[in-house]
Amino acid sequence: MRRTSYYISQEAAEAMEEAVGQVVEALGGQIPKHVALSALIMAGAGQVPQVTAKLTEDQRAQLAERISALDGTEQGP
């Protein structure tokens, strides 16, 4: 086991807490929260291509908005 701290958004922290609670509840409370949290993190780590694609799209949209604001035109998504 290892204790680690991460800085994450409030929204992400709340979502993770909710997900951990759901996993523990679904298994009848028979597993510790750290086991559920570890499993959720491992599942997320297996989603690198999807997460990268989502973050790339988010960055593209933000840049399009900034360009639009600078040149006074509207950019589509």
How far, rounded to the nearest angstrom, does the alpha carbon of residue 46 sit from its chain's CA centroid?
Answer: 12
36 and 65 part of one domain: no
Q: Which residue range is the domain that position 23 belongs to? A: 8-46
pLDDT at 77: 58
Residue whose tokens read 């840049």: 63
Q: What are the structure tokens assigned to 76, written together? A: 């589509």
- Residue 3 lies inside a defined structural domain of this protein: no
The answer to whether residue 53 is domain-embedded is yes
Over residues 63-72, mean pLDDT: 91
Q: How far apart are CA 50 and CA 76, in angstroms?
A: 22
Question: Is there a single domain that holds both residue 52 and residue 42?
Answer: no
Question: Please, which pLDDT band fits residue 72 given cuts at 50, 70 and 90?
Answer: confident
Whether residue 40 sits in one domain with residue 12: yes
**70 domain-assigned:** yes
Q: Is the pLDDT of residue 52 over 60?
A: yes
What's the pTM?
0.77
Are 55 and 39 found together in one domain? no
Residue 32's contacts (CB-CB under 8 Å, 6 or more residues apart) are 24
CA distance 50 to 43: 12
Examine the domain organization and report whether 32 and 21 are in the same domain. yes
